[in-house]
Amino acid sequence: MQHWVRDVPVADPVDRRNAPMLQLVSLLLAVLPSAAWCYRALLVDIPWRPGEVTGMVFGLSVSAISALSFVLVRKGRFKAASHALLAVFAATVIPAYLVAGFGGQRFEQPVLAIWMAIAALAVGRTALWLMFLCIAAAFGLGIGVDIGKQGKAVELLGDAAFSMAIFLMIAVVLDRSSVALRESLREARARGDALDVANRRLTEEMAERERTFAQLVQAQKMEAVGRLASGVAHDFGNVLAVAGGYVRSGLHSGNEARMRESLQGVDTAVNRANLLTRRLLSLVRVEEGVEEWFDPGEALKALMPMIRQLMGPGVKVDVTVADDLPPLFFDRMQFDLLVLNVAANADHAMPDGGGFSLRARRDNDRLVLDLADTGVGMEGDVLVHAFEPFFTTKPRGQGSGLGLSVVRDLVQRAGGSVNAESQLGRGTTISLRFADALAELAEVETEER
Share of the chain above pLDDT 90, in %: 12
pLDDT higher than 70, residue 400: no
* Inter-CA distances, 206 with 8, 200, 362, Å: 37, 10, 34
Going from N- to C-terminal start, the domains of the chain cover 2-151, 292-448
3-state secondary structure the chain: CHHHHHCCCCCCHHHHHHHHHHHHHHHHHHHHHHHHHHHHHHCCCCCCCCCHHHHHHHHHHHHHHHHHHHHHHHCCCHHHHHHHHHHHHHHHHHHHHHHHHHHHCHHHHHHHHHHHHHHHHHHCHHHHHHHHHHHHHHHHHHHHHHHHHHCCHHHHHHHHHHHHHHHHHHHHHHHHHHHHHHHHHHHHHHHHHHHHHHHHHHHHHHHHHHHHHHHHHHHHHHHHHHHHHHHHHHHHHHHHHHHHHHHHHHHCCCCHHHHHHHHHHHHHHHHHHHHHHHHHHHHHCCCCCCEEEECHHHHHHHHHHHHHHHCCCCEEEEEEECCCCCCEEEEHHHHHHHHHHHHHHHHHCCCCCEEEEEEEEEECCEEEEEEEECCCCCCHHHHHCCCCCCCCCCCCCCCCCCHHHHHHHHHHHCCCEEEEEEECCCEEEEEEECCCHHHHHHHHHHHHC
Amino acid present at 220: Q
Strand 291-294 to strand 354-363: parallel, antiparallel, or no bridges (unpaired)?
Answer: unpaired
**Listed residue (132, 216, 234, 244) closest to 404, CA to CA:** 216
pLDDT in tens, 336-391: 878 877 888 888 889 889 999 999 999 888 999 999 999 989 888 888 877 776 55
pLDDT in tens, 107-160: 667 777 777 887 887 777 888 888 888 888 888 888 888 787 776 666 777 777
CA distance 143 to 102: 5
pLDDT in tens, 3-54: 777 778 887 776 777 788 778 878 887 887 788 778 877 887 777 765 567 6
> Which superfamily does CATH assign the domain made up of 292-448 to?
Histidine kinase-like ATPase, C-terminal domain (3.30.565.10)
| Reported pTM | 0.42
Q: What is the pLDDT of residue 227?
A: 55
pLDDT higher than 80, residue 395: no
pLDDT in tens, 67-90: 888 888 888 888 888 888 788 777
β-partners of residue 327 are: none
Across the range 236-251, mean pLDDT stands at 65
β-partners of residue 366 are: 363
pLDDT in tens, 272-311: 566 556 555 545 554 455 788 999 999 998 888 778 777 8
